């Protein structure tokens, strides 16, 4: 599947040029602030969904949480989960696009 290949290529590119960069590790990945974000599950990718029911007073969100950002495997897994979340169900995709 082309989309999965793109996810893997993108994350591999980031891995080599950003994540493995010693300066980035020191100034971002190894900071207490970054570690706390992971501990508190604050690394999330969320998509707003517009439902057909106009009586709802809030916008529902769907998404996933990324744990262990420094892990190539975890980032690729997140990309796959997000892909399936959006494209596995046509109704969900329509709600996000709305």
pLDDT attached to residue 88: 95
pLDDT attached to residue 56: 66
Token pair of 9 as six digits: 């290529």
pLDDT tens for 39-60 read 999 999 999 998 776 676 778 9
3-state secondary structure the chain: CHHHHHHHHHHHHHHHHHHCCHHHHHHHHCCHHHHHHHHCCCCEEEEECCCCCCCCCCCCEEEEECCCCCCHHHHHHHHHHHHHHHHCCHHHHHHHHC
3-state secondary structure 41-68: CCCEEEEECCCCCCCCCCCCEEEEECCC
Residues of the chain with pLDDT under 50: none
Question: pTM value?
Answer: 0.84
pLDDT attached to residue 49: 92
Measured CA to CA, the distance from residue 40 to residue 56 in angstroms comes to 28
């Amino acid at each position: 599947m082309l989309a999965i290949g793109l996810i893997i290529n993108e994350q591999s590119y980031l891995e080599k040029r950003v994540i493995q960069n010693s300066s980035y590790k020191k100034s971002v990945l190894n900071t207490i602030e970054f570690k706390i974000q992971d501990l508190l599950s604050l690394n999330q990718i969320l998509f707003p969904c517009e439902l057909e029911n106009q009586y709802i007073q809030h916008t529902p969100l769907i998404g996933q949480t990324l744990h262990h950002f420094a892990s190539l495997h975890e980032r690729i897994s997140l990309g796959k989960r997000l892909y399936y979340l959006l494209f596995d169900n046509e109704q969900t995709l329509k709600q996000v696009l709305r």
